[in-house]
Amino acid sequence: MTEIARRGLCLVLSAPSGAGKTVISNALLASEPRLRRSVSVTTRAPRPGETDGVSYHFISQAAFDRAEKNGELLEWARVLQGKHCYGTPRAPVEQALAAGDDLIFDIDWQGHQQLRGRLKGDVLGVFILPPNLAALESRLKGRGGDTDAEIARRMRIAQDEIGHWREFDHVVVNDHLPDAVDAVRAALHAARSATARMTGLAGFIGSFGGQS
């Protein structure tokens, strides 16, 4: 297939917990060679099996505060009652976009808002929905390990998150996983071929003679 130079894009997948965004992300990463995961920074300690620079960039609170103050983060948030901070470093994202590589983000609707505000035109937002709330609750219970109170809390948060669906470019219902993956892939491929993203298009058209 003929490749024309283009600017990369940021594919943001957001969803309530249990809707399947992680599985969809992994399926796309395994099948899309120009797509890679954005690696966030965090102030929490590594968990067993996590690798610095792969799972997260693990940094101190002082380093995080400095990065946020200096505008080195595209989006950030405090979680667990402010105990830990997470954020997206600006430099590697801008480098990937300039090189024509795409990054996938697993962030919430607030992170999506921040990212879209700072990278106008470079963000493709896809919101993943479960087929219904009963299915979502069943998936959460199927994970095991959470109390009924925790599941009820997650369901309340899910309903709030779902209320932000209008802020995204696409909404995909994850009723059948292969179909959901195909739908997100179709949105990604369409965004890649948008005229405004194809920085090498004028030159390519010029090779046809007098058309650029």
- The pLDDT-based confidence of 146 (bands split at 50, 70, 90) is confident
**Looking at this protein, which amino acid is placed at residue 167?**
E
Residue 91 in this model has a pLDDT that exceeds 70: yes
Q: What is residue 159's predicted lDDT score, i.e. its pLDDT?
A: 94
Tell whether the model's pLDDT for residue 143 goes beyond 90. no
Q: Strand runs (DSSP E) across the chain, as ranges?
A: 10-14, 35-37, 41-42, 57-58, 73-79, 84-89, 102-106, 123-129, 170-173
Q: Using a pLDDT cut of 70, give the percent of the chain over it.
A: 97
pLDDT in tens, 147-160: 899 899 989 999 99
CATH of 10-205, one of 3.40.50.300, 3.30.70.1250, 3.40.50.80, 3.40.50.720: 3.40.50.300
Among residues 75, 17, 32, 1, the alpha carbon closest in space to that of 181 is found at 32
For 40, 127, 128, 187, 191, the CA distances from 170, given in Å and listed in that order, are: 24, 6, 9, 8, 11
* pLDDT at residue 82, rounded to an integer: 67
What value does the mean pLDDT take over residues 31-37? 95
When pLDDT is cut at 50, 70 and 90, the band that residue 2 belongs to is confident
What residues form DSSP beta bridges with 58?
42
Say how far apart CA 127 and CA 184 lie, in whole Å: 10
Residues 116-132 have pLDDT tens digits of: 999 989 999 999 999 99
Mean pLDDT of 93-108: 96
Amino acid at 109: W
Does 172 score more than 80 pLDDT?
A: yes
In our burial notation (b when 16+ CB lie closer than 10 A, e otherwise), range 14-36 reads bbbbbbbbeebbebbeeebeebe
pLDDT tens for 189-205 read 999 999 999 999 999 99
Coil, strand, or helix at residue 76?
A: strand
Q: Give the number of other CB atoms < 10 A from CB of residue 183.
A: 18
What is the rounded (10 degree) CA torsion for 60, 66, 69, 71? -90
- HSE at residue 140, side-chain half, CA atoms within 13 A, is 24
- pLDDT higher than threshold 80 for residue 1: no
pLDDT of 53 > 80? The answer is yes
Residues 6+ apart with CB under 8 A from 7: 97, 98, 100, 122, 197, 199
* Domain spans, the chain: 10-205
